[in-house]
Chain A
Amino acid sequence: MSHSFRRRLDTLSERAIFGVSLAAISIIVFIFIYITREAWPLISGAVRETSLGSVFGPPFQWDPVSVQQPRYNVVPLVAGTLKVTLVAMLVGTPLALGAALYTAEFASHRLREWLKPTVELLAGIPSVVVGFFALIVMASWIQDILGLQYRLNAFTAGIALSLAVIPIVFTVAEDALSAVPATYREASLALGASAVQTAVRVVLPAASPGIGAALILGMGRALGETMIVLMVSGNAALLGFDPFSGARTMSATIAAELGEVVYGGDHYSVLFFIGVLLFITTSGLNWVGERINAGLRRKLFGGV
């Protein structure tokens, strides 16, 4: 192979790869432009009876196909989403961080090689399977144990959702903990600290930006997850923060209702507007998470 041919091949592959990554980015940009365009009548105030004011202002009711008076207010959906996400984070965070700390600091090398992929495998379970299990089996257990009035509720949905959140938080947090240089640990141990003291007071704080990023990325996943909440949350659009009542989330509402809306109508625009809200929130969270993670790498390894 001649030298010049090889160089040309290099340039060509470089351009191909650049083209592919550009395509991936532009697809996302186009999706955003498209959903914003479909939501535009609402945002710009061109829709007849629905406006940004009525979407966020009282009365806080979601009843889009009511014969009496259709009501498109996203506040109960936002409340439902936060309710479920909060439970998922409160349940998932200690488990994921505990597992990450154990794997990074205490597990033997062989155990770690086995533990990490196993937890990450959880992320590969299709959410419809998690939802199905939660709907048929877990919901009854939780109702019996806690004596709940509603079998399907935000709490049960949050617990099921934590199964989707844990692997993400775990894997990012574990990476952050492992990335803390060995010199930190050695210095701490040399000063007479125990292994637990070292892990909790030295390694954990050093990795804290990475842990923060892990939590934010996990939260982004929880906000956007659809199938699990659609199946388990009961889909009642209630305002308020009682975790043991039903909840209707933003993503589940889009999934359940977009199939039958009149093209271009008020309901259609509002559903796309919810899509815009979700898109902005989750991409914002992901961006912040990635930024923190990059900052951590700089802090630990200097300006690489």
Chain B
Amino acid sequence: MRRSFGFFTVLALAAITSCGPRTGEQSLTIKGSDTMVQLGQQWAETYMAARPEVVIQVTGGGSGTGIAALINGSTDIAQASRDMREEEIREALAQRGAEVHETPVALDALAVYVHNDNPVRSLTMAEISAIFRGEITHWSQVGGPDRAIVLYGRENSSGTYAFFREHVMDDADFAPVYQALPGTAAVINAVSQDPAGVGYGGIGYVEGVSTLSIRPASGGEPIEPNLDNVLTNRYPLSRSLYFYTVGEPEGLMAEFLDWVLGPEGQEIVTDVGYYPLRPSETVL
């Protein structure tokens, strides 16, 4: 239940923390991906506890919203669950006058969820794609009960939406009956209450739903979204979660990034439910 309140906690925190830093303090603002909001907040809280003179504000809104804020200069760090697009990088250079700097900060498995009572436990990528395109409409077509499938997912400002469409659906359109919900917590909540539902989102949010394993098209063992399969890239929907900044990080920003990539920061990644970076990636 705690996770369902996440979205609103974020709003409340945003309202409280936006009252402005007191003088003599150093501050950073982080904005973007809803997938990463809890992660960003955990980092910020722990870091602020160790360094009381620092204020870090974390807000969500979606990867696209964070990147837009980075471009127009209203945030220091954009959290994103998708790569920044070329035109966005160009736009940032034009408006901020410096190159965008990309830092992978954690790994995630984009998970496909179903209700706990749904006997379907694995699908191929082609099946998942056909389900979200509206070509497979009943669970019985993929070995489940005789029940119409209800599609849940994120709004089109979401990085997770963009990643899913690109990597699962090969950029095809979602079926019109697709229900777009505000935030991964809302998707999880909807799927956990709907025996016919299927949804997608970051692995860190999984609670009260079952994740599907992905069956290779060539046959063979279904691949579960877990640490091993993500680190070895066997799980096909592994992705990096990013911090985007403008220019080479320096000062507080560099210290904070170093700490996030360090052992303490990466331990928080595991606590929140995502996967830490491979050791070779944690060098800034």
Contact = CB atoms under 8 A, between A and B. Distances in A.
B127 to A, nearest CB: 21
Contact of A64 (B156, B166, B172, B178): B156
Interface string B56-82: 000001101100100000000000000
B171 A67 contact: yes
Most chain B C-beta atoms within 10 Å of own C-beta, residue among A64, A68, A132, A151: A151
B176 A136 contact: no
Given A140-B193, A151-B150, A257 B157 contact: yes
Nearest to B191: A151
B155 A149 contact: no
A140 B179 CA distance: 16
Interface string A107-136: 000000000000000000000100010011
B65 A259 contact: yes
B68 A235 contact: no
B157 A149 contact: no
A12 to B, nearest CB: 36
Interface of A: 61, 63-68, 76, 128, 132, 135-136, 139-140, 149-152, 230-231, 234-238, 245-246, 248, 256-257, 259-260
A236 B177 contact: yes
Contacts of B181: 152, 234-235
B180 A256 contact: yes
**For chain B, which range describes its interface: under 10, 10 to 19, 20 to 34, or 35 or more residues?**
20 to 34
B192 to A, nearest CB: 11
B170 to A, nearest CB: 9
Contacts of B177: 236, 238, 245-246
B173 interface: yes
A130 to B, nearest CB: 13
Contacts of B68: 259-260
Nearest to B189: A136
Nearest to B149: A149
A119 B120 CA distance: 48
5 nearest CB pairs, A to B: A260-B64, A260-B157, A67-B171, A234-B179, A235-B180
B208 interface: no
26 contacts: A61-B176, A67-B166, A67-B171, A68-B172, A135-B186, A149-B150, A149-B196, A150-B150, A151-B150, A151-B194, A151-B197, A234-B179, A235-B181, A237-B176, A238-B176, A238-B177, A246-B179, A256-B156, A256-B157, A256-B182, A259-B64, A259-B65, A259-B68, A259-B157, A260-B65, A260-B156
